[in-house]
Amino acid sequence: MQFVPCSLDTHGAAILAIFNEAIVTSTALYDYQPRPPESMVGWFKAKEAGHFPVIGAVDESGALLGFASYGSFRAWPAYKYSVEHSVYVHHAHRGKGIGRALLQELIKAAVMQQYHVMVGGIDMENRGSIALHESLGFTHAGTIRQAGFKFGRWLDLGFYQLLLETPARPVDG
């Protein structure tokens, strides 16, 4: 396995397939319908505009095993040192440490980009993701009860955060 920067042309279809599998089979995404292919254009443009990484884990043949990224936590300027991240692994490759490796790479990227807080929104029934985050030092920052409704039930959304030592000199404005 190696890590690569993802692009729309090379990885867009594989990322979309991973997203859509998660949408229809899990509460990892609180979407109801699979996303159309054209949605990836805007998704990649937003990542590029914000200088946000999209890190892919690929096998020796270049097939995408999973990906991780982050984006703005909230739109107001004072949140400029905080990002909200996500990690997704192809269903055939879960449980092999790929998610952990991707999240570790994402943490390195956040430090390099001088962010201070990483936030993950996790469905509270997703014990695997919660355990992964806690094992890497994330702490539970709060839960919004019944934040979503999917598969005929209310979903509780937990927030997990990791404080980073960066930036060395944060500034207002």
Note every long-range contact of 37-42, with CB atoms under 8 Å and residues 24 or more positions apart, other chains counting.
37/12, 37/13, 40/8, 40/12, 40/13, 40/15, 40/16, 41/8, 41/12
Q: What local confidence, expressed as pLDDT, does residue 149 receive? A: 98
Q: Model confidence over 148-160: pLDDT tens digits?
A: 999 999 999 999 9
With 0-12 / 13-18 / 19 or more C-beta atoms within 10 angstroms meaning exposed / middle / buried, residue 109 is buried
Is 100:64 a contact under the CB 8 Å cutoff?
no
| Cα dist from 67 to 86, 102, 142, 148, whole Å | 8, 7, 25, 24
Q: What local confidence, expressed as pLDDT, does residue 173 receive? A: 83
Rounded distance, CA 142 to CA 41, Å? Answer: 33
Q: What local confidence, expressed as pLDDT, does residue 153 receive? A: 97
Q: What is the mean pLDDT of the chain?
A: 97
Q: Model confidence over 51-66: pLDDT tens digits?
A: 999 999 999 999 999 9
